[in-house]
Amino acid sequence: MQFTFTKAALPKTGAIVIPVIENGLGDGAFAALNEAASGSLARAAKAANFTGKKDQVLDVIAPQGLDNTRVLVFGVGAPKTFGLEEAEALGGAICARLLSAREKSAAIALEGFAPGGIEADVLAAHVALAAKLRAYRFDKYRTKLEADQKPQLAKIAVHTGSTKAKTLFAELDKVADGVFLTRDLVSEPPNVLYPESFAARCAELEELGVKVTVLGVKEMKKLGMGALLGVGQGSARESKLVAMEWMGGKKGQAPVAFVGKGVTFDTGGISLKPGPGMEDMKWDMGGAGAVTGAMAALAGRKAKANVVGVIGLVENMPDGNAQRPGDIVKTMSGQTVEILNTDAEGRLVLADAIWWTQETYKPKAVVDLATLTGAMVIALAHEFAGMFVNDEKLCEALLKAGEATGDKLWRMPLVKAHYEMIKSDVADMKNIGGRDGGSSSAAAFIGRFVKDGQAWAHLDIAGMAWSTKDLPTSPKGGTGYGVRLLDEWVRQNYEG
């Protein structure tokens, strides 16, 4: 979809979109168009009891006196309640309505519209960003689309008095590309996306200047990654570890690191999951998808920071060579793990991936992302990702980035008692700590592989990587959660 930013007069064809504050119909673009339409817009608003309250929409088709196909008026409510989150919700709602109306082009009248004190350029750029994010589709496997199912919307012109909106959007556009990459990866079927093919998709980032390194089973065995390899040993697909490096900051400066769980399909292994809903386990690589998308976003916008993304890629299958409950594996760190449940596999992947990341890059901070526990969904539903963190400064920075982007986080407890839950009678630890506090004991397991003094945050994104309903800036399916969060965290804390 093409986005333009202009100060020209509103077009006389196509759709026009006008956001208005509550009781604000006498101002701006609405008033001007209403006069040109001989008062027909005001009459339509009165007939529909439209006053500009939040979430009200007035759709006037083929308005009298105008050659435009329609005028869409969106109410945003009281100005003081309108912030950046509401601006993006507006952009998403506009796009969704235009798509359902099957419009081919539209103009959004933002000049003079400045509720909540948002700067005009920021408002225009984020409305456009949200519209782009909401327009995402994953249709590559649909061979027959009815005419009314094919997208029509191709151009959106944002009419604004700002001269900087285009520049701001150009950078945000690269972030949206990263979100789209993550959504694509999460949406792919598991017969198409498996460790080797996922690694190949990562290698494509070299076109953006990312250095990509792929380790196979032979290399990981030599490094002693018994935890990660144990998860994938029942699959015909070879496990991989992928490292992506973007060094856009000062030469020699330690990077920050993202580490992602990439279980491309999770049957549960010998501890087999129930059949109903197992098809959803294609997105158990959502953490690795977010890391990959974030690296694409940072490289795409040429971020002035040193960042590495590491993902452990495995397929958890239950064949005759699969890992068994009762097995004991040795991790790269030298610590041993008693396997009580083969469906608690993501933490095993992260254990070796995080240790390798610390050994290889000596990062300033490590943030891992994983669709790790169903308990996280029970606790936070699909509203927040759970954050477990050992550093207060890192905690505050991630919370701030989450608020700024809508990829929201909620801090969860991680204390000595949770580490006690994973003590084993026969090994250094066991891979599950029991039903109670399952997300915290899982985080404690990962924490056993974080070196002393290493700033670290674990983000359990189990409830956020996929949505069964449309969201303000995302159609149902893969959400791309985490890309904007990580990008904003780097932007706010590691770029000059």
The dihedral sign for the CA sequence 291, 293, 299, 303: negative
Burial 436-461 (b: 16+ CB within 10 A, else e): ebbbbbbbbbbbbbbeeebbbbbbbb
Q: Residue 146's CB: how many other CB atoms inside 10 A? A: 6
DSSP label at 161?
S
Cα 274 from Cα 272, distance rounded (Å)? 7
Q: How far apart are the first and last CA of the chain?
A: 32
Strands 211-215 vs 240-247: parallel, antiparallel or unpaired: antiparallel
Strands 385-389 vs 409-411: parallel, antiparallel or unpaired: parallel
Task: Write down the catalytic residue from 53, 104, 164, 273.
Answer: 273
The pair of structure tokens assigned to 58 is 């007035």
Task: Write down the catalytic residue from 347, 430, 484, 491.
Answer: 347
Backbone angles phi, psi at 444, to 5 degrees: -60, -40
Q: Does the annotation count 273 as an active-site position?
A: yes
Q: Residue 97's CB: how many other CB atoms inside 10 A? A: 19
The pair of structure tokens assigned to 219 is 């290399």
Q: Look at residue 385 and give its three-state secondary structure.
A: strand
Burial 173-200 (b: 16+ CB within 10 A, else e): bbbbbbbbbbbbbbbbebeebbbbbbbe
Sequence-separated (6 or more) residues with CB below 8 Å from residue 455? 364, 365, 366, 390, 391, 393, 394
C-alpha closest to that of 210 among 312, 300, 287: 300
The pair of structure tokens assigned to 177 is 């590309």
Catalytic residues: 273, 347
